């Protein structure tokens, strides 16, 4: 969750670097989308590794969570590929923003799962007490 959030911050600031060096706007968005694509590929590999570890521990993940995570990663990955290959220049900033927002949503899903696992831990107290 923290890694994904820091990744979003870094990727949100990334377009300013090539822009600062005077590159054309189309190149800025292609480079930025390339960085986002690399981050998404790395994140996909990391999620697959984590799912393997979870399965090895005997924990079953719900289908909804698996489909949601896949959608939040593969959708922006497709948009990034379109940007990198030089798709529509007019929609490149929007596609990039959708990718960043999807990563933020993925971090939110991870946070919700963390809170859920803490509150409903097996063998633990399932009540939340407020004083």
Give residue-wise pLDDT tens across range 30-88. 999 999 999 999 988 888 888 787 777 777 777 787 788 888 888 888 888 888 888 77
Residue 128 lies in a domain: no
Q: Is residue 80 part of a domain?
A: yes
Report pTM: 0.77
- Per the structure, the complete domain to which residue 18 belongs is given by 2-115
The Cα angle at residue 18 between residues 13 and 21, in degrees rounded to 5: 125
Residue 64 is assigned to a structural domain of this protein: yes
Residue 123 lies in a domain: no
In a domain, 68, yes or no: yes
Residue 8 falls inside a structural domain: yes
Alpha helices in 1-131 (DSSP H): 2-13, 16-20, 25-56, 63-84, 92-119
Number of domains in the chain: 1
Block residue for tokens 């790395």: 42
Q: Please give the mean pLDDT across all residues of the chain.
A: 83
Residue 121: predicted pLDDT: 62
């Amino acid at each position: 969750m923290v890694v994904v959030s820091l990744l979003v911050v870094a990727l949100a600031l990334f377009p300013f670097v090539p822009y600062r060096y005077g590159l054309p706007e189309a190149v800025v968005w292609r480079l930025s989308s390339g960085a986002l694509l690399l981050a998404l590929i790395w994140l996909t590999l990391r999620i697959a590794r984590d799912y393997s570890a979870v399965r090895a521990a005997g924990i079953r993940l719900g289908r909804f969570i698996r489909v949601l995570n896949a959608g939040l990663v593969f959708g922006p990955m497709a948009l990034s590929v379109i940007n990198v290959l030089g798709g529509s220049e007019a929609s490149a900033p929007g596609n990039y923003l959708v990718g960043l927002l999807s990563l933020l949503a993925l971090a939110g899903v991870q946070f919700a799962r963390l809170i859920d696992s803490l509150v409903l831990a097996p063998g633990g107290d399932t009540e939340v007490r407020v004083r």
